Amino acid sequence: MYRASTASQIRFDDFNQGCGMQLDKNNEWIRMGDLIPWQKLEHLYSV
């Protein structure tokens, strides 16, 4: 069973890789991730 968490989701552009590299904020996958309504999807999934 899935339970919603109160912890906030880390954003893709806030994710730091172990080698010290950061993801480009203009990357198409990061921009697409910002368009997805994650909280709405989580609510639908947890019902």
pLDDT of residue 46: 79
pLDDT of residue 15: 63
**Kind and range of the H or E run holding 45:** helix 38-46
Residues of the chain with pLDDT under 70: 1-2, 4, 7-20
* Residue 15: alpha-carbon gap to chain centroid: 10
User: Scanning the structure block, which residue is given the tokens 């909280």?
Assistant: 39
